[in-house]
Structure 1
Amino acid sequence: MRLAILTQNLEGKILGNTVYNENGVLFLKEGSVLTLTAIKRLQNMGINTVYIKDDDNDNDNEIIVQETIETQIKLKLIKLLKEIFNDVKVKNYVDYDKAYEIIDTIIQNINLSENAILINNLTKSDSLSYLSIHSIDVAILSIIIGTNKKYDMKKIINLGLAALLHDVGKLIENNKEHHTILGYNLLKQNSMFKPTTFTAVYQHHEMEDGSGPLGLKGDNIFEFAKIINISDLYMNLISKEGNVLPHEAIERISALGNKINSEIYRNFISSVYCYPNGLRVILNNGLEGLVIAQNKNMTTRPIIRVKENGRYNYYNLEKELTLFIEKVIL
């Protein structure tokens, strides 16, 4: 099984992961043959990467793919977040208890294993579905970063709430400058939300060098906002909007240079695995292989399986320091 960008080149390939719509209805089952019609429908509904089963791969069971949050749990969270968002449209009010329930469920069920990833297996039928799925993914990644920063539970909850609701202002006006202040004002109306939460929502588009919409820079930007900013950038890049794989998204974020806080970047890079399991790669020694597992403390140096002389050999890049991934095969 390998990870691939969803293009017409996958016609005739066997799907390696089940795809659901955002309401939990099975859209395309694992083992289905990818037709041009199916590929087009998946693309139109926001799916840009899939796992496929290789005809020549007789060791699929070695590839460990775990979900950061199980699909069935995530579907329930999406339904609850849609209720929150619909309430905002009707009542101009954000329900704290429902938002807290989502964050608490994520915290209780998140898989922090090095082999867990956010699998892109939920279709998006409309803008509200996209916003809901994106918001939950940004919350999950922000919580992982906060955990790696050794935040206590109170801080993780308030960070998670801010990340979950970072774009809530878009339900009123989808404008980069305006939606942040609108979200800030919405949350501030409910005394249950802490200043750390609504301040992060207000500042989450600010950049370290002052090039954000508010012109804030450096230490004037709240740390939660910096975490949500980089999580938001990353999730946008690996979604249909950016249509790139994790290593490319990380390269693009790295290229932002002094626009991103260096410490937050280090926390981010230790939270995201550049080369997901199932990715085909070429090493700098010319050998072609498949990423089969990750190293917890070395997110850029996974374990690669290579077929040489009719047998499989394994290269752990955490230990094989002269080897590195030179190219990804799409």
Structure 2
Amino acid sequence: MRYVSIDDIEPGQLLGKTVYSANGTVLLSAGVQLTVYMINTLNRIGVTMLYIKDDNYADVEIPETLSAQTRKAIFRDMTDTFSAIRSGKDWSTKKISMSVDQLLKDVLDHKGILIHLNDIRTADNAQYIHATNVCLLSSTIGLNMGLNFNQLKELAIGGLLHDIGKTVPLPPGGSEGNLKYHHTWRGFEVLKQKRELSLLIAHTALQHHEKPDGTGIPRGLHNDDIHQYPKIVAVANRYDNLVGNGLAGLGKIMLPHEACEKMMAASEHDLDRDILIEFNRIISVYPNGTAVRLSSKETGVVVRQHRGLPGRPVVRIVRGTGEDIVVKEVDLGQHTTLFIEAVLA
């Protein structure tokens, strides 16, 4: 498979990965032959990138930390939870807890896989994908940092519900710009009322926009006053916003390597440096299927990863067509004088 901008998709190409709606139902199944109507519809609903089948890269696997079943359950339970909160109804923490248990099982079963946030986002499902990705990244960082299962579960629930305050209606005359009505406070108030949830989960929602240098919101806390959970969630939240949340009006979507560079530049000011180091150990900087240009000016597609060397993947270069095709693989972990010069998105 190759990861391709929707602007470069041509009718007749085969979809490589299934596109899901907000509630986890299938919009388009992997393997379907794309038509002009399908491409235009995907473009209209906010899809920017797609996986496409390609015979030259048929063996390229896209590692999945979370199963389709887990994602579907989380999307369903998040939809029910957010809908209940918006309408002022009670909501079940048991459903959220069960979904997080399944997510943590997937994380533990796939320990060691470099994470690539490759979900197909639409305007309809972006909110749920963001919550799931922040939960996944936070849990994996926490696992690398040696948190026990109970701590991981608190962290994971905090990550999944970090933006729950955005579903709470503002009071008459209130605005998000007024810090006492900010979504972090609204989320804290909702979560602290659930006695079956740890108060640390509520504080994760409250503190995930605080910064080590004291310039964060809503309370301007300094480094030592911010709990470890929201520090971790802040890193996960920032990354997912950079690589995928352009749909939320948060600016230009960045490629993974661009986002990682931007985040490291923010270390110790906006984000905790030690947590950023752990984050860089679990993220796929150049995900499988990504087209790249090497410093040798050759172009190819990333086909495999090296655990511990996320910036030095294996790149397959294909030249010619038909019987004249020539294929070679360049392992950047071995060819230390070569590097990725550009991503061809």
TM (norm. structure 1) is: 0.89
The correspondence of residues 34-45 of structure 1 with structure 2, limited to 5 A, is 34-45=34-45
Inter-partner Cα distance in structure 1 for 2:166 and 2:142 = 25
Give structure 1 stretches of 5+ with no counterpart: none
Give structure 2 stretches of 5+ with no counterpart: 171-175, 247-251
The correspondence of residues 308-319 of structure 1 with structure 2, limited to 5 A, is 310-319=325-334
Instruction: Kindly indicate whether residue 270 of structure 2 is the aligned counterpart of residue 255 of structure 1.
Output: no
| Map of 1:200 onto structure 2 | 204
| Map of 1:159 onto structure 2 | 155
Per-residue deviation, residues 230-283 of structure 1 (Å, max 9, x unmatched):
111111222251433222222332333432211111111111111000111112
What is the identity, as a one-letter code, of the residue corresponding to 1:120?
D
Instruction: Kindly indicate whether residue 97 of structure 2 is the aligned counterpart of residue 63 of structure 1.
Output: no
- Could you tell me which of 293, 305, 310 is aligned with 1:282? 293
Change (3 A) 1:40 1:232: farther
| Map of 1:322 onto structure 2 | 337
Could you tell me how far 1:68 is from its partner in structure 2?
2.0
Instruction: Kindly indicate whether residue 30 of structure 2 is the aligned counterpart of residue 30 of structure 1.
Output: yes
Inter-partner Cα distance in structure 2 for 1:108 and 1:21 = 24
Could you tell me how far 1:205 is from its partner in structure 2?
0.7
Instruction: Kindly indicate whether residue 129 of structure 2 is the aligned counterpart of residue 133 of structure 1.
Output: yes
What is the RMSD of the two structures over their aligned residues, measured on CA atoms? 2.3
Inter-partner Cα distance in structure 2 for 1:189 and 1:240 = 29
Change (3 A) 1:141 1:61: same
Q: For the Cα contact (< 8 Å) 1:275–1:300, is it kept in 2?
A: yes
Per-residue deviation, residues 152-203 of structure 1 (Å, max 9, x unmatched):
1111000001101101111114726411011111111122221221111100
| Map of 2:72 onto structure 1 | 75
Q: For the Cα contact (< 8 Å) 2:115–2:284, is it kept in 1?
A: no
Per-residue deviation, residues 111-130 of structure 1 (Å, max 9, x unmatched):
335365333236443xxx43
Per-residue deviation, residues 38-59 of structure 1 (Å, max 9, x unmatched):
33322333422211234xxx43
Inter-partner Cα distance in structure 2 for 1:15 and 1:240 = 22
Inter-partner Cα distance in structure 2 for 1:299 and 1:173 = 42
| Map of 1:264 onto structure 2 | 275
Inter-partner Cα distance in structure 1 for 2:82 and 2:185 = 17
Q: For the Cα contact (< 8 Å) 1:67–1:118, is it kept in 2?
A: no
| Map of 1:89 onto structure 2 | 86
Please state which structure has a larger fraction of its residues in strand.
Answer: 1
| Map of 2:249 onto structure 1 | none
Identity %: 30
| Map of 1:112 onto structure 2 | 111
Q: For the Cα contact (< 8 Å) 2:115–2:283, is it kept in 1?
A: no
Inter-partner Cα distance in structure 2 for 1:308 and 1:171 = 51
Change (3 A) 1:136 1:80: same
What is the identity, as a one-letter code, of the residue corresponding to 1:251?
E
TM (norm. structure 2) is: 0.85
Instruction: Kindly indicate whether residue 213 of structure 2 is the aligned counterpart of residue 212 of structure 1.
Output: no
Inter-partner Cα distance in structure 2 for 1:299 and 1:209 = 29
Inter-partner Cα distance in structure 1 for 2:4 and 2:255 = 9
Q: For the Cα contact (< 8 Å) 1:94–1:187, is it kept in 2?
A: no
